[in-house]
Amino acid sequence: MTSFGCLTFLTDFGLEDGFVASCHGVAARIAPSARIIDITHLVPPGDVRRGAAVLAQTVPAMPPAVHVAVVDPGVGTSRRAIAVRAGHSVLIGPDNGLLSWAVTALGGANEAVVLTNDALWNHPVSATFHGRDIFMPVAAHLFTGTELALAGTVVNVASLVRLAPPTSRMLDGEAEGEVLSVDRFGNVQLSIPTAAMQELGIRLGGTLVIRCNRRELTAPYLDTFGSAATGELIAFTDSAGLVSLAVTGGNAAEVLSLPPGARVRMAASSPA
Amino acid sequence: MTSFGCLTFLTDFGLEDGFVASCHGVAARIAPSARIIDITHLVPPGDVRRGAAVLAQTVPAMPPAVHVAVVDPGVGTSRRAIAVRAGHSVLIGPDNGLLSWAVTALGGANEAVVLTNDALWNHPVSATFHGRDIFMPVAAHLFTGTELALAGTVVNVASLVRLAPPTSRMLDGEAEGEVLSVDRFGNVQLSIPTAAMQELGIRLGGTLVIRCNRRELTAPYLDTFGSAATGELIAFTDSAGLVSLAVTGGNAAEVLSLPPGARVRMAASSPA
Amino acid sequence: MTSFGCLTFLTDFGLEDGFVASCHGVAARIAPSARIIDITHLVPPGDVRRGAAVLAQTVPAMPPAVHVAVVDPGVGTSRRAIAVRAGHSVLIGPDNGLLSWAVTALGGANEAVVLTNDALWNHPVSATFHGRDIFMPVAAHLFTGTELALAGTVVNVASLVRLAPPTSRMLDGEAEGEVLSVDRFGNVQLSIPTAAMQELGIRLGGTLVIRCNRRELTAPYLDTFGSAATGELIAFTDSAGLVSLAVTGGNAAEVLSLPPGARVRMAASSPA
């Protein structure tokens, strides 16, 4: 039997209604001692890729946990509700790819169950609020020691829906990637892993050529934005191990007009 | 003696200041083991009806609890501070109607006390922050086992201020109600209970005529928005048992120009 | 050995990403029983003075705690990471003045340590996310009983960076101060302590002359805004003991065009 340190909870429910709290309440009734760590509830409504990215970047910091995630534009359709064991944790949510990148971040799926055992659900089950009525109560039961296999029907992990990972490739001495996310500071996180910098022969302190929006810019590759001059564009490796762009004291996403999904290419600056 | 599973907390304090945290801190000093579930702190400033609606829809999901709610434009005036027992829970807040719909949702008031015992308060008591200095410390004392009657002066439950419930009526083969709330997805929750659909002879899969803003629209009555085409207007019964309008993949409140309070009428579509 | 009732957490990380949750996760791995009270994560990005003000006004309500605060535009530079004992609490964050007003509110610094013991950190340590990798894990270790001196190198408390306090002075029978903060209700908190009202001979119920933005207004000095007419400008002593301006049922900051930092003068109204 696995022992879990906490539940975590990520949704697109927002913070203005009582939806998140209702789920907390249902969990508190089933597992009074379970701590719930809210990851975020401000995923843009229905944005499964954004939810998947935040979840995947956050779960590595957690103790063994039951991770509940609900960004579920297909609630009430035939999309499956699933629980997936990965490493020492279990992830629960709709089978629409939302969990897939986090499963990978935790080492891959070992076991998967379609949630069909309604004895673990909150009744009456509404057609539109599976977070409260299916996902969270099942999670709380697993936290208290219920075996994963008792939650429903075991299915092949290969049958789970997977999101296509953000694209990133090396091409003609360039790394090409997409904007994965923009944080509150306007820092632009790219799908380019830090290893690509080494492959391009770019060292800390070196200079990059960045191509995006038909512009070409140069920026130093530094270990942190704190060491740059105010207003300077820099590239750095962020806390998730991905290459990111920042403007010190400014907003790189605005300055460069780079929303999530925009394409960016990078190369070493050739000695002129 | 009642035993409570948690405290809950709903306010219009917002999340940018330390107001909510100060209340958590006061509770932690009195009842170190009490878990607090935040319902929302984003009730529009002073909007007692909106606070009452969110509270009433959320408390049914909770374990027996002490529910603290503060939307209190009259703080510092002669409005009373009250604690009300309903079911296995106690609700605490200003006597301005904020608690009244939740009291009903929990089965009605069994006992009411005006908070006059300042031995349970946080001192010095400020004139403007009763959440921190009166409501939350009293709640924390009740959580630890202090009897309700010790919090102040017992009063007749009939003396409590009650908000007029959202209006809803059947008239000439139509159900008429008002927009109770709009959630983050733009779904429009009406004050029309699902029972009205049955009374109008409307079954799942049937078609409704909706009249609002001098427009007349038709929409299918479905069990969930997931089963409709993108962009389609539908009616469904939401997780609180109320008829709601949604546009799949869109924002019904914007499409229909329906803010909270707007009036809507519904009827069965007559076979043409 | 000090015993702490909770951790508290204040940042400018926002609520849309998983940054705050990652820190909670790291703490949960080190100190599973530690409750974390989030003060706010909506400090405007990089606004050290605003973070310092919210922290200082909130810590007095807390039990003995380890307070973690991260508003850290200099992350990754040579700015020091510190832990400071004040009263029965410890404050942890960057040495950029963020903690200084809260240290004063808790009675002043008794002991200070520069965080250099990386055995207490989360590895690998990123260059840009010291909240997750340094501040929070050190705080969690202190919560579990690790001695403060083991966190690094003891330094003289006089060496800590201190923010200049908000200015406030008495001049020619006037109190002059600045707008310290504007809350969600539009109430304007001034850096003028309530004692200044007594010094100016202004009693509750008396009338003030307020000078700001080249305008001169009069307002009653009341104990709470609840007792004024709707739309009326009033002055009152807020829950932090500072003179504040409010418009009952309205937004004083908008009506008076008073953003944080704006200067305001006050005097007793002379009997005409």
pLDDT band at C2 (very low <50, low <70, confident <90, very high): low
pLDDT at C77: 78
Cβ of B224 under 8 Å from any chain A Cβ?
Answer: yes
Task: Tell me whether A35 touches chain C (CB under 8 Å).
Answer: yes
Average pLDDT over every residue of C51-55: 96
Pairing state of beta strands C65-70 and C6-11? parallel
Please, what is the average pLDDT of chain A? 93
Structure confidence at residue A249 as a pLDDT band (50, 70, 90): confident
CA dist A185 and B142 (Å) reads 43
pLDDT band of residue B9 (cuts 50, 70, 90) is very high
Of B35, B54, B62, nearest to A17 by CB-CB distance is: B54
Contact B226 A79 (CB under 8 A): yes
Interface test with A, best of B58, B143, B248 (most A CBs within 10 A): B58
The alpha carbon of residue C111 is apart from the nearest alpha carbon of chain B, in Å, by: 24
- At residue B271, the pLDDT reads 58
In tens, the pLDDT along A33-88 reads: 999 999 999 999 999 999 999 999 999 999 999 999 999 988 877 899 999 999 99
Q: Is A123 left (phi over 0), alpha (psi -120 to 50) or beta?
A: beta
Work out the minimum CA distance from A132 to partner chain B, whole angstroms: 8
**Burial group, residue B270, by CB count within 10 angstroms (0-12, 13-18, 19+):** exposed
> Over 50: is that where the pLDDT of C187 sits?
yes
- Two structure tokens written together for C71: 């508003």
Query: Which SS3 state, helix, strand or coil, does residue A111 take?
Result: strand
Q: Which band of pLDDT confidence, cut at 50, 70 and 90, is reported for residue B272?
A: very low
Tell me what the mean pLDDT of segment C135-141 comes to: 98
Residue in A15, A63, A239 closest to C129 by CB: A239
Distance between CA atoms of C239 and C174, rounded to whole angstroms?
23
Bridge-partner residues for C242, per DSSP?
C193
Any CB–CB contact under 8 A between B239 and chain A?
yes
Q: Which chain B residues have a beta carbon less than 8 Å from that of A16?
A: 40, 42, 183-184
Interacting residues of A78 by C-beta distance below 8 A, sequence separation 6+: none
Mean pLDDT of chain B: 93
Nearest CB to A226: which of C15, C32, C74?
Answer: C74
Cβ-contact B207, B269 below 8 angstroms: yes
Q: Is A237 on the interface with C (CB under 8 A)?
A: yes
- Whether A22 has its CB under 8 Å from any CB of chain B: the answer is yes
Chain A residue with CA closest to B227: the answer is A77
Best of C11, C16, C48 to mutate (most A CBs within 10 Å, chain A): C16
Rg, Å, chain B Cα set: 21
Q: How confident is the model at residue C38 (pLDDT cuts 50, 70, 90)?
A: very high
The two tokens of residue C114 are 């520069």
Question: Residue C168: pLDDT band by 50, 70, 90 thresholds?
Answer: confident
Closest by Cα among C77, B24, A36, C58 to C68: C58
Q: How confident is the model over C108-122, as pLDDT tens digits?
A: 999 999 999 999 999
Return the residue of A nearest to C13 by Cα. A184
CB spacing of A17 vs B239 below 8 angstroms: no
- Print burial letters for B141-158: b (CB count within 10 Å at least 16), e (below 16): bbbeebebeebbeebebe
Q: Tokens for A259?
A: 């929303």
- C29 in contact with A at a CB cutoff of 8 Å? yes
Domains of chain B in sequence order? 6-159 (3.40.50.10790), 168-268 (2.40.30.90)
Q: Predicted confidence band at A241 (pLDDT cuts at 50, 70, 90)?
A: confident
pLDDT score of B53 more than 60:
yes
Q: Which residues contact A51 (CB under 8 A, 6 or more apart)?
A: A10, A11, A12, A43, A69, A71, A98
Rounded CA-CA distance A104/A117 in Å is 26
Whether residue A28 and residue B35 make contact (CB cut-off 8 A), yes or no, is: yes
Considering only CB atoms, C128 lies closest to which of A15, A57, A224, namely: A224
Whether the pLDDT of residue C272 is over 50: the answer is: no
Nearest alpha-carbon partner for B25 in C105, C109, C150, C169: C105
- Using a pLDDT cut of 70, give the percent of chain A over it: 98
pLDDT beyond 60 at A272:
no
CA of C74, closest CA in chain A: separation in Å? 5
ipTM beyond cut 0.90 = yes
List beta partners, residue B64: none
**Residue for token pair 């790394």:** A175
A105 close contact with C: CB closer than 8 A: no
What digits encode the pLDDT tens for the residues B189-246?
A: 999 999 999 899 999 999 999 999 899 999 999 987 777 788 899 999 998 889 999 9
Instruction: State the smallest CA–CA distance between residue A95 and chain B in angstroms.
Output: 14
Closest CA to C157 of C82, C92, C55, C69: C82
Task: Kindly tell me if the per-residue pLDDT of C189 is higher than 90.
Answer: yes
Binary contact (A226, C76; C-beta < 8 A):
yes
Count Cβ atoms within 10 A of the Cβ of residue B102 and give its class: 0-12 exposed, 13-18 middle, 19 or more buried: buried
Which member of C17, C25, C32 has the closest CB to residue A183?
C17
Decide the pairing of beta strands B89-94 and B65-70.
parallel
Q: Least CB-CB distance to C28: which of A6, A41, A57?
A: A6
State the DSSP code for A221.
B
* C155 close contact with B: CB closer than 8 A: no
- Confidence band, pLDDT 50/70/90 cuts, at residue A168: confident
* Structural contact between residues C190 and C252, judged by C-beta atoms closer than 8 angstroms: no
CB of B6 less than 8 A from some CB of C: no
Rg of chain C taking only CA atoms, in angstroms = 21
What is residue B2's predicted lDDT score, i.e. its pLDDT?
63
Contact: C54, B18; criterion CB under 8 Å: yes
Q: A45: how many CB neighbours lie within 10 A of its CB?
A: 16
Is A126 touching B (CB cutoff 8 A)? yes
Is any Cβ of chain B less than 8 angstroms from the Cβ of A24? yes
Q: What is the pTM of this model?
A: 0.93
Position C248 pLDDT exceeds 80 = yes
Beta strands in chain B (DSSP E): 6-11, 36-40, 65-70, 81-86, 89-94, 109-115, 152-155, 168-171, 174-182, 188-193, 207-212, 215-220, 233-237, 242-247, 263-268
Query: What is the pLDDT, as a whole number, of residue A2?
Result: 63
